[in-house]
Structure 1
Amino acid sequence: HFDVLNGSSFDVDAGVGLERFLDPQERIQLCPIVFVGHSAGPDHTPYGDYSETAVDAGLRLGDVAIQSTHARLILSLGLGLEHQQQTFSLQGAAFSKDTHDFGVFAAGVSAVFDNTLTVSPRMSVPIGLTNGEAKFTLDLAISLGHRSERRGVLR
């Protein structure tokens, strides 16, 4: 919901990440990530129709807090860089574009089920963005990796 524009948007995000263990016990993970997102709306504001595209790349450090045969709970902290482009348009023609580049600090927890499905609530705080506010997201991930027979984990 955009309070300033008195409207809401339709958001689509996609991301990829890679899980790399840093210790032999496979508890500490370093995960490079890249997300791309697009928001369409709100439309018909006093300033025109609004849209935004963002690219976020960074690293997350995770620690397996709890582990069982079929599930893991991972606490994570991360730093990244984000590039946003915001556009106002009238009747499909862009008349105002603005870009922002800033850092992002992220903290979250992930529940991983059978090394296949991950549910991750996350908080992201912009660094160096004037009037930036924290955002809260809920990510759903499905692994496309292959299972290692030696340890039963995805590689």
Structure 2
Amino acid sequence: MTNREIKISFQEYTSVKELDTDDQSLCNEAVKAMVNSHSPYSKFRVGAALRLQSGKIIHGSNQENVAYPSGLCAERVALFYWGANHPDDPIESMAVTAHTDEFILNKPVTSCGSCLQVIAEYEKKQNKPIKTILFCKDGPVWVTRGIESFLPFLFFEDRLS
């Protein structure tokens, strides 16, 4: 038997104000995206913003449906839009935020497993990691470069390609 250990690495900032101006701007875009959340059931709004290599910003927000699980997370809304419309303009960075009136979020909300796998797929497709910024209002900010910090056991099988 061999014991193995996986360590992840990310940067933590006390607030969005500590980020450089480009990242602050992307976080503001994620907040704007959250406005279009359709979340009447969970009342948990999520917004995502992607910055492409060209500088173009793509927005996504969670979209719920009474016929659960027919909805879609904000990250996948933005990523699938990118994949369908801008696949040749690599994603440089992504900011994700959430808010609910039901309780206070004291730390960033991480992407679900399905979203993490989609991020991994698109990193592989563009052969380039995506800087990911997770934040919440008045709380810490987590920044990582590459999805492996969030999903160390990525599902990839090269023989499926």
Q: TM-score normalized by structure 2?
A: 0.31
Highest RCO, 1 vs 2 (Cα 8 Å, sep ≥ 6):
2
Q: Which has the higher helix share?
A: 2
Q: TM-score normalized by structure 1?
A: 0.32
Q: Which has the higher strand share?
A: 1
